[in-house]
Amino acid sequence: MLTVTREPAVSETNQTAQNETLPSDLEISRRVLRIRSRWSESERIQRRLDAEVRFADLMCKLVGSAA
């Protein structure tokens, strides 16, 4: 008689706790300021315009889904 064993389709997850410490808000702010300080003025303007367009699109979608 044949015996069939079925292997799990997904590998088992490791239950060991990961001790990660997330950066504080202050550390994130410092990193962002450090990155922004390397941007040229034209790059800052372009990024601001892009952000305004993304925000407007988000608002349109939110208002549209609320109706």
pLDDT tens track for 37-65: 999 999 999 999 999 999 999 999 999 88
- Could you tell me if residue 51 is inside a domain? yes
Report yes or no: 36 and 44 within 8 Å, Cβ to Cβ: yes
- Could you tell me if residue 16 is inside a domain? no
Residue 21 pLDDT grade (very low, low, confident, very high; cuts 50, 70, 90): confident
Residue 65, pLDDT score: 81
- Could you tell me if residue 47 is inside a domain? yes
Look at the chain and report how many structural domains it folds into.
1
Q: Mean per-residue pLDDT for 21-30?
A: 94
Query: Where in the sequence is the domain holding 67, given as residue range(s)?
Result: 40-67
The whole-model pTM stands at 0.54
Residue 19, pLDDT score: 73
- Could you tell me if residue 17 is inside a domain? no
- Could you tell me if residue 1 is inside a domain? no
- Could you tell me if residue 12 is inside a domain? no
